[in-house]
Amino acid sequence: MNIGVSTLLYENEDIITAVSSIAEAGQKRIELFCEIAGFRPGEVSDETVDTLADLALEHGITYSIHPPCIGLNPASSDSSERARVVEAYIGTIELATRLGIRDMVVHCGSKSDPRVPTEIALGFASQTLQTVGDVAQQAGVVMMLENTCWKETSILESPQDLIDLADLCPPSTCLLLDVGHAMIWGVNPTECARAWFPRLAQIHAHDNHGECDEHLPLGDGIIDWKELISFLAMERWDGVFMIEVGQQEDSADALERSLDIVRECLAQCANA
């Protein structure tokens, strides 16, 4: 498997500082998060695009892209919010095209209210994702559909539901397991990985205590990384294990500690 790091690790910095810091730590697969300063779709300068392209060339980096997500729920009951999601996602595809990026994260969304019937919310999500999917397909950008729902507003009742939603998107659509989100959803992340395996392109790795989306360094919460990584190693998974930890007091140290956990788990598998 390949290791990657999301620029969420430097979410309070600007995009160039975030990428430079991760590249200096020796990482070559970097997720560009569109909530980072200087990287909002529609507002990104040619100078920023050129600098990101230069950094990629200099350090041998492959980028993937994560659209803006705050206040943007693809399964929202509010049609104007869904229109804003489509606009933000299409803006992200345009940005991906400027940077030659092939892979884009998309969220499955959640119910606006627990009382919304599941099939109605799923219908909203598939409508949003089909519209975006058509544009992505034309641009040659692959969508990676991420589990982003939990508790009483979840639109997914089982891991199979994410596969069914992906089946309504362009055929190239892959699946993305967010381990922290699965934990809050109450479904064992390894079970998700097993269910989604042939189409599992990427993992978002961050820790929590099973209640909130804390985006902690690996090992700082209650997630069983050994179980998941053993499964991935056994299956010789060749997707991207993207560390998606939020900014910490010492982000460089948080990254190193997270990578140590991955290395330890892999070493244990190799020795088993």
Q: Which residues bind Zn ion (CB under 5 A)?
A: 178, 204
The DSSP call for residue 69 is -
Q: Give least dist CB 58 to Zn ion, A.
A: 27
Query: Which is closer to Zn ion, CB of 4 or CB of 48?
Result: 4
Query: Which is closer to Zn ion, CB of 29 or CB of 204?
Result: 204
Query: Which is closer to Zn ion, CB of 178 or CB of 220?
Result: 178
Q: Give least dist CB 105 to Zn ion, A.
A: 7
Q: Give least dist CB 123 to Zn ion, A.
A: 23
| Beta-sheet strands, E only, within 94-205 | 103-107, 142-146, 174-178, 200-205
Give CA–CA dist 69/39, Å, rounded. Answer: 13
The position carrying tokens 């790795």 is 205
Among residues 18, 11, 92, 116, which one has the least CA distance to residue 61? Answer: 18
Residue type, 227: E
Structure tokens at 60: 């041998």
DSSP string, 50-89: HHHHHHHHHHT-EEEEE---TT--TT-S-HHHHHHHHHHH
Q: Give least dist CB 124 to Zn ion, A.
A: 20
Give CA–CA dist 214/39, Å, rounded. Answer: 23
Return the residue nearest Zn ion (CB atom): 204
Q: Give least dist CB 178 to Zn ion, A.
A: 4
Query: Which is closer to Zn ion, CB of 81 or CB of 178?
Result: 178
Query: Which is closer to Zn ion, CB of 48 or CB of 245?
Result: 245
